[in-house]
Structure 1
Amino acid sequence: MKKFSILAIALTMSIGTLFTSCESLKNTNNTQRGAGIGAASGAVIGAILGNNVGKGGKGAMGAVIGGVVGGVAGGVIGNKMDKQARQIDEVLPGAEVKRVGEGIQLVLNENSVRFDTNKSSLTTEAKVNLNKLVPVFLEYPDTDITIFGYTDITGPADYNLKLSAERAASVRDYLVSKGLASSRFNVTGLGIADPIATNDTADGRSQNRRVEFAITANDKMKEDAKMEAGN
């Protein structure tokens, strides 16, 4: 569980003022955290996630996870995402799992899904690790999954952008072949954006050839959460 973290973000807005504090939410429950996050717009949360989760391409990740329900219903969704994040971390400890707002950021790096240079095809090891995720994703069918593909800095930027999209699509296609509904997925290629390691070494470039998931509640989960919350 070393890499599993919950990013508690409290947002309070007044006229022309935005105050954020992670420390203040250490002792709050998921319902309270969801209510606090729901006080701000998705655009604001997206900007905050860009600062707290990473740089560059993380703005795209923040924009996806930043669409929240908030209030008690947001807390209901948060509880479900907590459980799913823990299960992902248990079955695939080599991945990085982060709870962000009402969603999950999942980074599949060199320890889970590695790509060879200039390749978008999945290695045998990558397929083995993706297989571990399938039962968890099937257990939580009311989530949408956006897959972001990345490359190292080798080669032209336009080529890398295309390659990164193909990597994301390879992961989606493999998961769909294992029984997940294709309608749950969106794929985006971000090329060389947001490296998580140096591109100056072979090992660093290997880490940057990765995919990341943004796992969010679909419309059914949101409506069910509102009903459970009595909204």
Structure 2
Amino acid sequence: MKGLKFCALVLSAGMLLSSCGGNMNNTGKGSLIGAGGGAALGTLIGTLASSNKGKGAGIGAAVGVAVGAGVGALIGKKMDKAKAAAQQVENAQVESVTDANGLQAVKVTFDSGILFNTSSSALSSNATASLAKFASTVLNVNKDMDVAIKGYTDNQGWKNSTAAQSVQKNMDLSLQRANSVSNYLKQCGVSPTQITSVEGLGEADPVADNSTAAGREQNRRVEVYLYASEKMIQEAQAQAGN
């Protein structure tokens, strides 16, 4: 029996991963995740997601219940709409990711070169225009989605600083930048309760090669994640049960 369960789990995971490589939208992916059902598949998805740095691993608190196909499809449909709206925001790089519950989420990356001047956490005029549109057309029309904000830097050292001091300064700068984004979004009407976490991760989780200027530019970034709140999940469960 255990062998059969394991085979079913592997088969479900294989179906999920192969579909993600194609053109399936979030609605379809969400339905597939839910159909795989249960807590075991959700755990596997979470494990796979956590192995992909910067792909949304750890976003959201696990609700501790199995998510059905209907719930996954309903949430996936909403995420599709949020993703499409975010793609219309200038300077935003948008992709689909998986949250801690195995549900579809949206990751929006803003290049720090667009957001900030070197070694500064003050938002540029380009940044405020992009963030204002992001707030009005995405976050403020999806208030049932929680938001997590993460700031990152490259690994370049600071003048007249030791290696350890540079690491800490990069950590501090990344948090200041993440807070700048969070504070401006709130000024644009985003509810403080919608933004569930703001983190500065410094040099951690580079997405490109820090040995090149182009790579360092990609690593200097702020990521904003939209994922299903517990309330959104509960409402989807109630709707799917009707």
The 1-side partners of 2:30 and 2:59 are apart by: 21
- Please give the residue correspondences for 1:78-157 in structure 2 after superposition, counting only pairs within 5 Å: 78-92=76-90, 94-100=92-98, 101-109=103-111, 113-135=114-136, 136-155=138-157, 156-157=166-167
Note if contact 1:137-1:180 (Cα within 8 Å) is conserved in structure 2: yes
SS, match of residue 176 in structure 2 = helix
Equivalenced residues, count: 213
Note if contact 1:65-1:104 (Cα within 8 Å) is conserved in structure 2.
Answer: no
Letter in 2 for 1:214: Y
Matched, 1:178 2:188: yes
Partners of 1:142 and 1:50 in 2: CA distance:
24
The amino acid that maps onto 1:74 is: G
Give the corresponding residue for 1:67.
62
State which drifts further: 116-125 or 19-28: 19-28
Amino acid at match of 1:50: S
Change (3 A) 1:120 1:110: closer
CA distance in 2, matches of 1:164, 1:110: 10
Cα pair 2:94 2:106 within 8 Å, conserved: no
Counterparts in 2 of 1:177 and 1:197: CA distance versus 1, 3 Å? same
Query: What letter matches 1:77 in structure 2?
Result: I
Conserved 8 A contact 1:73-1:229: yes
Alpha-carbon distance in 1 for matches of 2:171, 2:178: 11
Match of 1:39 in 2: 38
What are the Cα deviations for residues 178-209 of structure 1, in whole angstroms up to 9, with x where unaligned? 11101111101111012122222333322211
State the distance in 1 between where 2:207 and 2:30 align: 32
Contact 1:38 1:74 in 2 (8 A): no
Distance, in Å, in 2 between the alignment partners of 1:126 and 1:31 is 32
Instruction: Tell me: CA distance 1:66–1:18, structure 2 relative to 1, closer, same or farther (3 Å).
Output: farther
Question: Shift in Å at residue 175 of structure 1?
Answer: 0.2
Alpha-carbon deviations, 1:68-95, whole Å to 9, x = none? 6621212211111111111111234641
Matched AA of 2:96: K
State the TM-score, normalized to the length of structure 2: 0.76
CA, structure 1 residues 222+120, in 2 after alignment: closer, same or farther (shift >3 Å)? Answer: same
Larger radius of gyration: 2
Task: Report if the CA contact (8 A) 2:31-2:76 is conserved.
Answer: no
Distance, in Å, in 2 between the alignment partners of 1:86 and 1:142 is 17
Gaps of 5+ in 2: 158-165
1:119 alignment partner, SS class: coil
Shift of 1:223: 1.9
What is the CA RMSD across the aligned residues, in angstroms?
2.8
- Over 3 Å counting, the alpha-carbon distance change for 1:94 and 1:148 in structure 2 is closer
Aligned partners of 1:143 and 1:221 also within 8 Å? yes
The answer (yes or no) to whether the contact 1:34–1:73 under 8 Å persists in 2 is: no
Aligned-pair identity in percent equals 33
